[in-house]
Amino acid sequence: MRRARSKEKRPLPSPLVPLGFDMNIAAFLPNWIGDAVMATPALRALRSHYAKARLIGVMKPYVADVFAGGDWFDDVVFFNGGPWSQGVLAVARQLRQRHIDLVVLFANTFRSALTAWLGGCQRRIGYARYGRSLLLTEALQPVRDEFGQRKPSPVLDAYNLLAEKAGCPRPGYLMELFTTSADERAADQVWEQAHFEDYSEVVCLNPGAAFGAAKHWPSAYFADLARRLAGERGSGVLVLCGPNERQLARAIAKLADHPHVYALADLTAPTAPQGPPLSIGLTKACVRRADLLVTTDSGPRHFAAAFDRPVVTLFGPTHIEWTETYHPRAVHLQKRVECGPCQLRVCPLDHRCMLQLTPEEVYRAAEELLH
């Protein structure tokens, strides 16, 4: 039986579309890892609605690691930044070669819109920000308050609206991620070295935050929490880290001073010669199999939602509303202070928003989710 075709008006197919596809669609992905995860409902909607289209992801190389293991894209173009000849112009040239019929700009930068325009993308959908409206064929307005200022509102909703503007049904809030077999083998090595199979539960702690030091919860607080989880609950505790956070993870494990608390940095190469390298894929696989994640407001927090794992998120200088995930197994903790949320990368005062959030409060939230 032939499937009924939608009556929705779609862009005319390019005369140079690869065999088996009816059009070329490009998606410029955000640079922040958490934002990339929040774009997955909209990406899935594009993938489903334009089932015969060729979907091309335009992204930073490290963002590709977030999407690894899934069927998101038929082709990928890496946007490395740098000089124009290696950034905007190079990517625009690749887009022209692919004859893009529709581009959806999840990245809210002038650079992305300019690249899409120079790349000859016929239909260009994005938000009217940073003076790029004239570069778009369809510009959506961000949510503003009564004074015309941008109002904190979920990025997830904003991304979904882009997909709707492209003609998709409402995407919903189900974020998705996948792991590769290599990711899972790497996590198996970590679990074996820490003997986590002997524990009734494993809790991952994520103390890092690429945004800046203002999002950090004190290492002594993380160590206190780890010690209580290991000592009072008998949990196996794994302190996650990226390549630039090895010392932070080790410091927390050392301060915890408990045999059931491990720093991922000590279970991976080069510290452990037989261990796997640190990677986004390894972090995804560790979060996927954990019983709970306790994290700062950073990328791995969204991994938990995408894998439907319980998560306690510690908010300080940022508005919860921006990164709301609608995850039913999530607890958000934040102290109301007169100077926040300030959205600053480095605290100019005394970091009170994070210091007032005590290990006792976080432990109680963790226990509630573990029960």
DSSP string spanning 110-174?
A: HHHHHHHHHTT-SEEEEE--TT-GGG-SEEEPPPB-TTSPBPP--HHHHHHHHHHHTTPPP--S-
Residues in CB range of 340: below 8 A, 6 or more apart: 316, 317, 353
Scan for tokens 């979920």, then name that residue.
154
- Rounded Cα distance between 361 and 119, Å, is 51
Q: Which residues pair with 59 in a beta bridge?
A: 78
Helix (H) or strand (E) holding 28: strand 24-28
Q: Residue 367 — φ and ψ, nearest 5°?
A: -60, -40
Helix (H) or strand (E) holding 58: strand 54-59
CB 59 within 8 A of CB 39: no
CB 313 within 8 A of CB 332: yes
- Rounded Cα distance between 147 and 112, Å, is 28
Angle between helices 110-118 and 88-98 (to 10 degrees): 40
CB 253 within 8 A of CB 266: yes
Amino acid identity, position 348: P
Say how far residue 103 (Cα) sits from the centre of its chain. Answer: 21
Write out the two tokens for 7: 């009556």
Q: Provide block-wise average pLDDT over 10 residues at a time, the chain (371 residues).
A: 43 58 95 96 97 96 95 94 76 96 96 96 96 96 88 95 98 97 97 96 93 88 98 98 94 98 93 86 98 96 97 92 94 90 84 92 97 86
Sign of CA dihedral 334, 335, 340, 342: negative
Nearest Cα residue to 161 out of 191, 127, 206: 127
pLDDT score for 347: 81
pLDDT score for 316: 86
- Rounded Cα distance between 215 and 232, Å, is 27
Check: pTM over 0.85? Answer yes or no.
yes
Q: Which domains does the chain have, with CATH numbers?
A: 24-165 (3.40.50.2000), 182-370 (3.40.50.2000)
pLDDT score for 84: 67
pLDDT score for 85: 62
Alpha helices in the chain (DSSP H): 33-38, 40-49, 61-67, 88-98, 110-118, 155-165, 181-194, 219-232, 246-256, 280-289, 299-306, 352-355, 359-370
CB 34 within 8 A of CB 298: yes
Nearest Cα residue to 39 out of 84, 95, 85, 106: 106
CB 258 within 8 A of CB 226: yes
